[in-house]
Amino acid sequence: MAVPTNGFAVGGGSRCVLAVLGFRSPDPPSFRREPLGAVRAIGVHEDVIVVESRVWRTTATVVRSGAEAFVIDSPVFPDELELLPALLEQARFQFSGLLATHGDWDHLLGRLAFPGAALGVAETTAARLRAHPGAAQRALRDFDERHYVARPAPLALGSVEALPVPGYCALGERELELHPADGHTVDGMAIWIPWARILVCGDYLSPAEIPTPEASIDGYLATLTRLEPLVAAAEHVVPGHGGPIDGPAARALLREDRDYLEALRERRPAAAALPAGRRDAEQRRLHAANVARLREAGGP
């Protein structure tokens, strides 16, 4: 465990929830320190820390191998992003680059924390970002305006590196496995961390959110089938929304999500009975959107 030295309480340990409190020196510098904010960080493995945003429980996963560490996806609020570099420093993770599971704007904000860093994405995501230049920035601006959020700098995605998926991505002496994960959106990848047996899967298997097959319900189901052996082998799964979950919980979610989507696809009323724990007003709204999308796409 790292010894808190500068106002941060961060450590490696397994399955421990670490509330990270940051401090910022006032300007002009003085010895007085003011609270900056807090971010929820969870150590799931000695090489893996998950940060959960206060909005939508959006996750960012920091994974280390040797003297390198990647940040996968991003938290959303400026104070959460601002704390990320210090979180890595305190955990003794040396930042080396950004990855994003897919091209939805709320997962693409890493460069606000690490300006100048390269962003690695699946080829499908790179193609989506190229096809819709500025879309992520516009969506971010809409969110910020709606919630009165001020940011110190605008988002620039910088150099986006297209990674072949399926494939491997070197990190230190080891390799991350990249698996296609489309259906929620037209693009995306799930990242398997073999030595930690952790799957970072993007917007699938969320304990907080029902499946949202925005691109394709068949594609979404195919992704669940593709992820199934990884989920079966996983110690933990980190969905894009809802913090890390253990293997048995992820396997149960996969079954629930498949049942829900199959019922939805076949227009069975069972789909309206949303999975237990995901039936609140927002989930019912997402379900209505799923039904409407399916109706628009035609079919029986």
- State in angstroms the smallest separation of the CB of 12 from Zn ion: 27
Count of residues touching Zn ion (by CB under 5 A):
3
Closest to Zn ion by CB, 82 vs 106, is 106
What's the chain's length in residues? 300
Q: Is 219 in the site for Zn ion (CB under 5 A)?
A: no
- State in angstroms the smallest separation of the CB of 107 from Zn ion: 6
Pattern of binders to Zn ion over 179-208, x per CB under 5 A? ------------------------x-----
Pattern of binders to Zn ion over 121-160, x per CB under 5 A? ----------------------------------------
- State in angstroms the smallest separation of the CB of 140 from Zn ion: 13
Q: Is 240 in the site for Zn ion (CB under 5 A)?
A: yes
- State in angstroms the smallest separation of the CB of 206 from Zn ion: 9
Stretch that binds Zn ion, among 14-22, 96-104, 173-181, 270-278 (CB under 5 A): 96-104
Contacts of 138 (CB under 8 A, 6+ apart): none
Q: Is 47 in the site for Zn ion (CB under 5 A)?
A: no
- State in angstroms the smallest separation of the CB of 196 from Zn ion: 22
- State in angstroms the smallest separation of the CB of 299 from Zn ion: 26
Tell me the DSSP string of the chain: -PPP-SS------TTEEEEEEEEE--SS--S--EEEEEEEEEEEETTEEEEE-SSTTBEEEEEEETTEEEEES---SHHHHHHHHHHHHHTT--EEEEE-SS--GGG-THHHHSTT--EEEEHHHHHHHHHSTTHHHHHHHHHHHHHT---SS-----SEEEEPSSEEEEETTEEEEEEE--SSSS--EEEEETTTTEEEEESSS-SSS----SS-HHHHHHHHHHHHHHHHH-SEEEESBS--EEHHHHHHHHHHHHHHHHHHHTT-GGGGSPPTT--SHHHHHHHHHHHHHHHHT---
- State in angstroms the smallest separation of the CB of 74 from Zn ion: 10
Q: Is 73 in the site for Zn ion (CB under 5 A)?
A: no
Closest to Zn ion by CB, 86 vs 191, is 191
Out of 104, 187, 256, 257, name the contact with Zn ion by CB under 5 A: 104
List interacting residues with Zn ion (CB under 5 A).
104, 203, 240
